[in-house]
A and B are shown apart, each in its own frame.
Chain A
């Protein structure tokens, strides 16, 4: 199963919220939609779910027009919401039946997910009587109760404590193993790095980076090195590099202890290493290939 979003645009009044978003995701894989607040992640998801209609563009599933009501989709919206004054099992069964699941299967699925998320003892309680964390778990269980082929989670980790976050991580990994398509948006890069093979970074309604995460990391770190000198603060070391090795490298970043540089065109690592060893006023402590974190990539791309 392959879900493809092709060049969708959306505007609200005069504001262009999405300016041609495209990506694709296949069964057994997870796609992370990343972006700052207001970048257009939730609007993209809502267009996928047919809450909003796109102004242009196309969404297909295996090449055919995608109708979210004709495929089993588990959708966890950014704005969480269930019925606080209804019993948990009752409303989960209701939501599953709205998705076309029989009552019998709905009850079995609901109990399965409540048990998996460790909230089965509350099945006959009113939702409002549960703690916020348990309400979140019930919300997630309700998302999965229809045994979805596609799971769309909008900021699923928001508001979860570390223990519940771990449970959710395990569940998402199970879904991926079970061959589901998983799309989720998040600000928490560590989770995205953990599950997603593919990412899409949206900024101001446009895709600024997309593709396979490993490839992105490799490309982003290509020709970049992490350097440091003994007993020299990174600021001073960066100044030294700027003045003495400007023809070989340029500074791309700085951490608490290191300086990140990119090799200028035609300069090899061996050349740089030799030039560094020839510097009389410092001793090189650290010389290695730069491996960017997703957070670094996100800040570099979405912070522009």
Chain B
């Protein structure tokens, strides 16, 4: 065990002495921490959709309600919409102007004129209304978030109702009051609100994915470098290969935890001090419950170690650092697939596929903590998944140490994983 710690210390020192590691970590800590203090010194109320602070005081918590509409509509402020009323059904355009607030409504005589104005970008869009149930919408380039049609259809529907009431001798006011009676709802969430938890789960999935890819390659490189500089022969004749690989992987894990942990801590601590200045706008990202952080830590560390061992084995299959991508390609593909599955399933954390993924060792590091954060998962399931993950990690470490030892003096072309496994079986 003493030798394991010798290796661990030596390898860890190589991370700490690496200037880019230290500078990047410190820079991220300072930037993130300083970033959380920004609203104290800079007026960010426009960006955050808050009331302008008065006398330098912090934005109060209850100012968060007036966000959406005003900021959305501000984008439309300088746009103009054209309207052709072919059958003269619009007697009063004030309701339409209200619906399209901050947008100028320009009436036009013909469809041709409307088209020309859209093409020449004099107006951003236009409606050619055939009658109260038919219209054509003209726009040059439709953007993903274009809501003009939805707003206009709601307005046209209202016009249609008015016309219908007139034609059938009905009182529109009483019809409207009965037809559009408001529905009252009081939301009571007994479990978790995915809407609240989505963004920090999303961010943590990205973070753990990046950490595994980044540090996994570093572990593989540290193994390959010893083959490349030929120091491996002295090492494996001095100490058991298991200690060498475990020392490297645990040093990599420590460096990753220190880097990620300190950066995350800086951001969370900075925000917790300044959250009122942010109007709690970043709660969705930076107010992470302890249970989710604990789940992230347990499954993140387990997943990291699992993949780091496999990366170490991949590093042992090649003797030049430039060949690492060749041997680690399949592993990286697996990590990417897991990442995309979890990302696509993020809105439905209790789906069957997420349930399966949360028990498989190569995906549980991500899927299980998403379920902890956003879904409903029993404690027993968490324990079983953690046991599977850590048992698999030990098995991966054992296998990786065998491959590492087997690949010691195999220089030249990369060894195929299948060949390595065959050799292990034969030995």
Contact = CB atoms under 8 A, between A and B. Distances in A.
Nearest to A48: B237
B240 interface: yes
B10 interface: yes
B230 A51 contact: no
B409 A46 contact: yes
A75 interface: yes
Contacts of B14: 86
Say what secondary structure dominates the interface of chain A: loop
Given A51-B409, A69-B239, A100 B3 contact: yes
B54 to A, nearest CB: 58
B229 interface: yes
B6 A98 contact: yes
A79 B230 contact: yes
Given A46-B409, A51-B236, A77-B234, A83 B229 contact: yes
Contacts of B408: 51
Interface string A230-248: 0000000000000000000
Contacts of B6: 94, 97-98
A294 to B, nearest CB: 28
A107 interface: no
Contacts of A98: 3, 6-7, 235, 238-239
A126 B60 CA distance: 58
Interface string A96-115: 01111000000000000000
Contacts of B10: 94
A209 interface: no
A52 B236 CA distance: 11
A68 interface: yes
B240 A69 contact: yes
Interface residues of B, number: 22
B237 A51 contact: yes
B413 interface: no
A83 B232 CA distance: 10
Contacts of B75: none
Contact of B233 (A81, A94, A97): A81
Contact of B229 (A68, A73, A81): A81
B231 interface: yes
B230 A49 contact: no
Contact of B234 (A52, A53, A81, A97): A81
Interface in B1-20: 2-3, 6-7, 10, 14
Given A51-B408, A51-B409, A73-B237, A97 B231 contact: no
Contacts of A77: 230, 233-234, 237
B302 to A, nearest CB: 28
Contacts of A142: 234
A62 B199 CA distance: 68
A1 B121 CA distance: 96
A86 to B, nearest CB: 8
Interface in A65-100: 68-69, 73, 75, 77, 79-84, 86, 94-95, 97-100
A95 B238 contact: yes
Interface in B231-280: 231-240
Given A94-B6, A100-B3, A81 B237 contact: no
Given A51-B409, A97-B3, A68 B237 contact: yes
A98 B236 CA distance: 10
Nearest to A53: B427
A75 B237 contact: yes
Interface in A186-222: none
A174 B218 CA distance: 43
A56 B59 CA distance: 81
15 contacts: A50-B237, A51-B233, A51-B237, A69-B239, A69-B240, A77-B230, A77-B233, A77-B234, A77-B237, A80-B230, A81-B233, A97-B3, A98-B3, A98-B238, A142-B234
Given A69-B239, A75-B234, A75-B237, 18 more contacts: A46-B409, A52-B409, A69-B238, A75-B233, A75-B238, A77-B233, A81-B230, A81-B232, A81-B234, A82-B229, A82-B231, A83-B229, A83-B231, A86-B14, A95-B238, A98-B7, A98-B235, A99-B239
Interface of A: 46, 49-53, 68-69, 73, 75, 77, 79-84, 86, 94-95, 97-100, 142
Q: What 6 A-B pairs have minimum CB-CB distances, sorted nearest first?
A: A81-B230, A81-B231, A98-B238, A79-B230, A77-B233, A49-B237
